[in-house]
Structure formats: C-alpha cells, structure tokens
C-alpha cells in the first residue's frame, strides 16, 4: 500500500492569483474606457450624415421663425446670411437656409429689443393681449417643431452598428 503525498505549490498559486488580478483590472479598464470610446466614435462616424441633417433642420426652423416674426425694422433686415454645412466635409456640403437677419452682427440683439418695444409701444390693452397671445402661440409651435425634429433624428442608429456593438 502506497500513500501518495500531495504537495501544494504555494508559490505558483500566488503567482497565478496576482497575474489573474492584474489581467482582471486591465480588462475592467479596457471595458469601461476603450470599448465605449470606440463605440461612440463609430456611431458618430456612421451617423454624421444624419446629425448634419438634424442640425440643418433645426437651423432651418430657426431661420423660418425669424423670417415670420411680426417685428419689422429696416436696419434688422438690411443684411441676410445663408447657412450652409461645413466645407471641410465636402461630401455632405449643402445649403441649409437663408436667414433674413444677420445674427452674427453684435448690434442685432439690441436692435431686436428696440424693434419689439416699438411694435408694442402704441397699442391698447386688448390689442396688446391679442398680439402677445399670438406670439406665445407662435413660440409654442416653434418649440414643438424643434422637439419633433430632435426626437425623430435622435432615434436613428444604424443596424450594422448595433450588430457590431453586440
């Protein structure tokens, strides 16, 4: 009858534990930092055309809102700007909208305040209430339209990207 003695190698046991711990920590870092970074970059690259469309639609609504405003002043409407996408991305370059007010000019915002004040200045109370109610309704419609545009375009993710993420 032979008795076999099992000798446990503690040195290799602790080396395996430490090596496993190092690889475990490295895999946590990779999975929490590198994979989401790569995934977001891939989504942005694939959805660049759709994000340009979304931003263009929002800018178009804003230009339309400014064009339909009841506040008219010669100095506000003397300069127009055209809104286009970036020329760096020549594949997606396109005309977006024509804005009747040059919003890049620093003097436009004080002039708009003066034009709005002059528009409401010589009105009676009933007419003022009616005009402010109409403007409030116009702002609500503008908000709803912007929310609709953002909702429709934000839900688009390409099926191929979803398959690569899984």
**Highest-scoring range by mean pLDDT, 20-29, 49-58, 59-68:** 20-29
Q: What's the sign of the alpha-carbon dihedral 19, 20, 21, 25?
A: positive
Burial class (CB in 10 A: 0-12, 13-18, 19+), 64: middle
Mean pLDDT of 147-160: 63
pTM value?
Answer: 0.61
What is the CB neighbour count within 10 angstroms for residue 143?
Answer: 10
Mean pLDDT of 31-49: 81
The pLDDT value recorded for residue 136 is: 93
Whether 137 has a pLDDT exceeding 90, the answer reads yes
Residues 101/108, Cβ–Cβ less than 8 Å: yes
Distance (Å) of CA 15 to CA 7, 24, 34: 17, 14, 27
Whether 116 has a pLDDT exceeding 60, the answer reads yes
């Amino acid at each position: 009858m032979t008795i076999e003695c099992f000798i446990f190698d503690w040195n290799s046991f602790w080396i395996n534990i430490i090596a496993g711990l190092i690889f475990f920590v490295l895999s946590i870092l990779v999975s929490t930092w590198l994979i989401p970074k790569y995934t977001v970059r891939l989504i942005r690259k694939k959805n660049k055309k759709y994000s340009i469309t979304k931003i263009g639609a929002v800018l178009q609504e804003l230009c339309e809102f400014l064009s339909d405003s009841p506040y008219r002043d010669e100095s506000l409407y003397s300069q127009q700007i055209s809104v286009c996408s970036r020329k760096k991305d020549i594949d997606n370059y396109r005309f977006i909208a024509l804005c009747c007010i040059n919003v890049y000019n620093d003097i436009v915002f004080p002039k708009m305040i003066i034009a709005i004040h002059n528009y409401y200045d010589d009105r009676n109370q009933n007419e003022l209430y009616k005009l402010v109610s109409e403007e409030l309704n116009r702002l609500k419609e503008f908000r709803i339209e912007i929310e609709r545009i953002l909702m429709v375009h934000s839900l688009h993710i390409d099926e191929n990207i979803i398959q690569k993420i899984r």
